[in-house]
Amino acid sequence: KNQVEQSPQSLIILEGKNCTLQCNYTVSPFSNLRWYKQDTGRGPVSLTIMTFSENTKSNGRYTATLDADTKQSSLHITASQLSDSASYICVDFYGNNRLAFGKGNQVVVIP
């Protein structure tokens, strides 16, 4: 059973437009929820980290939200740029320093 489910699997958006990516997680006890950006052939890069007491956190044009009651998170990308084309991975940090990764939302930004 997947511990972290993400949707949509992939999407194509026009440069300059906004988009929202969804994540549902099931693992508990929950410690924090993370979003990573992974460019093709590269390692993941951390975008945001939220504890259960936080419901929103921003990093530039990226804004993550968290609803710990429903175990849902979203990542909103504002005014997308071509360099935003990547896989966005939702990660549940649980237990003693373990990460459970989602399969990622593949975003393609086109001019």
CB of 18 to another protein, least distance (A): 25
Q: How many CA atoms lie within 13 A of 33 on its CB side?
A: 30
Residue 84 or 102 with smaller CB distance to another protein: 102
Q: Is the peptide bond before 29 cis (omega within 30 degrees of 0)?
A: yes
Contact window for another protein (CB under 8 A) among 11-19, 45-53, 61-69, 73-81: 45-53
Single residue of 12, 14, 45, 108 touching another protein by CB under 8 A: 45
| 97 interacts with another protein by CB under 8 A | yes
Q: Please identify which residue in 22, 24, 26, 32 interacts with another protein, judged by CB under 8 A.
A: 32
Scored b (16 or more CB within 10 A) or e, 81-107 reads: eeebbbbbbbbbbbeeeebbbbebbbb
Beta partners for 110? 14
| 55 in Cβ contact with 71 (< 8 Å) | no
CB of 111 to another protein, least distance (A): 26
Number of residues near another protein (by CB under 8 A): 21
66 token code pair: 């968290």
- Which residues of the shown chain bind another protein in the complex (CB under 8 A)? 31-32, 41-46, 49, 51, 89, 95-104
